[in-house]
Chains A and B, each alone.
Chain A
Amino acid sequence: MKILVCIKQVPDMASRFKVNGDGTWYDETDLAFRMNEYDEYAVEQAVQLKEQQGSTPDITVLSIGPDRVGEMIKKAMAMGCDRGVHIQDKDSFRKDPWQIASAIAGFARDKKFDLIFFGMQSQDRGSGQVGAMVAEILGIACATTVVGFAFADGVVTAKRELEGGIRAVVKLKLPALITCQLGLNTPRYPTLPNIMKAKKKELLALPIADFLKEKELVATASAYPPAKKGTGLVLEGDVNDMVGKLVGILKEKTKVVK
């Protein structure tokens, strides 16, 4: 069994964001980058499946991005992926989801992966497009927003999460593509021995030009901070002062504190 996991590196969302020089994206200066949260579930699910299948599956982990993504690919290999593919692209943030999907499909097309795992969305762009687009380009079955995953007798049983927390249970024959939602599993922390082992695993670096033949379909006009509504009151400073002020406000504005 051959498995592909696609992961993206994103900034820590608790950061302060500024618009970049050409006004189309966020400025990367001073940001700490990490694995997209949704993609951690994708890596974990692939590794768990490998463990259940008695180690026979071979897991390739792929990321498109600048040099910094190498560290993240190594983390995924320390979690248990067998080999890494870094599709090098300094300007990956300028590519639209269609281009990223086309490049991934271009890489995967002749490699006969049985199962492909994605995150359901990236935390920075949040388009939720790439996974389903890759499935469409490759012409394989796909279920998105998956919070339950089981594999037996060549069939994936997936639970898709719907609004209000109800789930739709679906079955897919291989080859299939899954996009992972928060809570699907508990992503592991790489152990020190596994971090050491990961250093010896193969990490292939390939230029984006080998896979990307498509032009962008959507362009960013501009990026900007949201207009501050500023209706709320902001309290800052000494904790005890703020407690006093807040209790006063609650007494005045709500009926719950007397």
Chain B
Amino acid sequence: MKTLLICEYREGKLLESSYELVAFADKLGAEKAMVLIGKEAEVPKVNGKLYLADVAKYGEYKPDLHKKIVLEAVKKEDPDAIVFLHSSYGWDLAPRVAAALKAGQVSEIVSINEGKFEVGLCNAKLRRTVTPQTGKMVLTIQAGAFNVAGDPQGKAQIEKIDLPDAVSPLEFVGYEPAQKKEVDLARAEVVVSAGRGVGKKENVAIIAALAKALGGELGASRPVVDAGWVEHSRQVGTTGQIVAPKLYVACGISGAIQHVAGMKKSEFVVAINKDKDAPIGEVADVLVVADVMQFVPALTAMLQK
């Protein structure tokens, strides 16, 4: 099997996550070639052919042009699988490439199960294995699911790609920084987070009281932030903050991958959820099956004694 790995580049740098693609290809035991729209000083340290297009000309986010570059590399390399990260870059570009090639696409692969690709179904409450029916396939892999062992040490063999036509129907204006952090959750020893299961804004105070009793900070899942119950600077997850406290308490949080990615390095995790099957149970050291509104005030009262 031959893979073409689509590396990522942002704000002038190769993204480290690109190495996860290499780990995936190694796990498949596949040959690898790579594509990068970037610059020569920032290529991955991996042995193999690397198709490089100049970011100065093709931009960091011009998906129509990036698609053409990937298709050009596909033509030269004739891979069996074109592999992206399931990231804001990958999930945007992969379906464009898949549709252009009329290749079957599998999104957010979490593991390889007897040669088949395993993906989640219904917030990972179920799993599926899927098999593309086409000669070429497009794959995206879940961030963090395939990890590289050790420091990368290799040297890519660069071949440049330059297309005559570089007009994109989409104009990339620039980046806007994330909302500024009023609290640095990354330094907290204890983070107690409120999820949608707290029910309403008024109930957030009950979760905040537990955070205080434990000497920690209040965190939140995304829906709680989107609804305006808690400010964005307290959001935990891929699009919020990454935390690693001594104790993380998830109150009424289901455990979606984007949330878990932000707290899985915590030393000890307690989850309070009325659903015994909630995926948060997979990363919790203790899962308390209870209504947060009954359990949390009782816990706070006991700690204050």
Contacts and interface: CB of A to CB of B under 8 A. Distances in A.
B190 A229 contact: no
A254 to B, nearest CB: 5
A244 B172 CA distance: 56
Interface in B58-100: 60-61, 63-64, 86-89, 91-92, 94-96, 98-100
B127 A224 contact: yes
A19 B129 CA distance: 13
Is chain A's binding surface mostly helix, strand, loop or mixed?
Answer: mixed
Interface stretch (A55-63, A77-85, A109-117, A230-238): A230-238
Contacts of B86: 128
Is chain B's binding surface mostly helix, strand, loop or mixed?
Answer: mixed
Interface string A214-230: 01111111111110010
B268 interface: yes
A239 B286 CA distance: 14
A137 B171 contact: no
Contacts of A239: 290, 294-295, 298
A255 B254 contact: no
Given A11-B122, A16-B277, A127-B107, A257 B92 contact: no
A254 B215 CA distance: 13
A144 B240 contact: no
Contacts of A141: 64, 169-170
B112 interface: no
Contacts, number: 261
Contacts of B128: 24-25, 220-224
Nearest to B226: A183
B275 interface: yes
Interface in A135-186: 135-137, 140-145, 157, 159-173, 182-183, 186
Given A235-B287, A242-B288, A253 B268 contact: yes
B98 A133 contact: yes
Contact of A221 (B129, B239, B268): B129
A243 interface: yes
B193 interface: no
A250 B215 CA distance: 14
A243 B96 CA distance: 51
Nearest to A140: B169
B205 interface: no
B116 interface: yes
A165 B116 CA distance: 33
Contact of B284 (A19, A182, A232, A244): A232
B122 A165 contact: no
Nearest to A242: B288
B123 A123 contact: yes
A206 interface: no
A32 interface: no
Contacts of A192: none
Given A137-B99, A168-B172, A256-B214, A14 B254 contact: yes
Nearest to B277: A16
Contact of B133 (A101, A164, A165, A218): A218
B234 interface: no
Contacts of B125: 13, 17, 225-226
B187 interface: no
A133 B290 CA distance: 42
Contacts of B239: 161, 163-165
B10 interface: yes
A128 B107 contact: yes
Given A133-B98, A250-B247, A142 B63 contact: yes
A256 B126 contact: no
A163 B238 contact: yes
Contact of A129 (B95, B225, B269, B289): B95
Nearest to B269: A232
Contacts of B88: 144-145, 160-163
A168 B171 CA distance: 11
B175 A166 contact: yes
A128 B21 CA distance: 19
Nearest to B100: A136
Given A126-B120, A133-B95, A243-B295, A226 B232 contact: no
A144 B122 contact: no
B237 to A, nearest CB: 9
Contact of A220 (B107, B130, B268, B289): B130
A26 B247 contact: no
9 contacts: A126-B108, A129-B98, A144-B92, A172-B169, A221-B116, A221-B131, A232-B269, A233-B285, A242-B295
Given A163-B239, A220-B129, 8 more contacts: A25-B121, A130-B95, A165-B240, A170-B171, A218-B104, A218-B105, A235-B290, A239-B298
